[in-house]
Structure 1
Amino acid sequence: MDDILLKALKEGRGIYVVSGKDLLRFHTQVMLDAKNIDRMLNANEAAKLLATTPRTLQRWDNEGYLKSIRIGGVNKWRYRDIMRLINGKDECSNT
């Protein structure tokens, strides 16, 4: 095993050390994201994630930048669409 590591280091290959704690944290985050992907957020929840105001969300909805879905007379936003914006995607679809 040591020979393989030394060879990889000499060849300039990147070696990453990952602890069990790191793997557990990664797993936990992936599972949370999987559960939340279809979650619908109200204006206050969505605004908090985006560090903006509910009024800005309404403006973005009107402009087509971040579309909401009307459910029972209340506007809701898809968690996955908000994550797309946070992660650098431009616009979110309404599908």
Structure 2
Amino acid sequence: MDDFLFRAVYMSDLDTVEKLLGEHNVDVNEADQLGRTPLQIACYFGYYEVCKKLLEKGAKIDEDCFRRAQNGWDGHRQNEIIELFREWQNR
């Protein structure tokens, strides 16, 4: 996959994420060279809106997403994202 989506997620650039997901045939569940999906990156950093957009486009919530949200950037627990994941799984 192009690195464009990963860069946009890493920078929390919601406009670019939306553009890439809307205009290009992007596999939102494809992993980068380190094995991370865009959703795993977004939840680790606490990017709620980016997570939500990725989920809307078919991103899969896996165990690693929860683990990254629980042990997020700089030791922060991403409670809002954990709740989003739970709500999304209950749909």
> As a proportion of its length, which structure holds more strand?
1
The alignment's TM-score, normalised by the length of structure 2, stands at 0.25
> As a proportion of its length, which structure holds more helix?
2
The alignment's TM-score, normalised by the length of structure 1, stands at 0.24
Higher radius of gyration, 1 or 2: 1
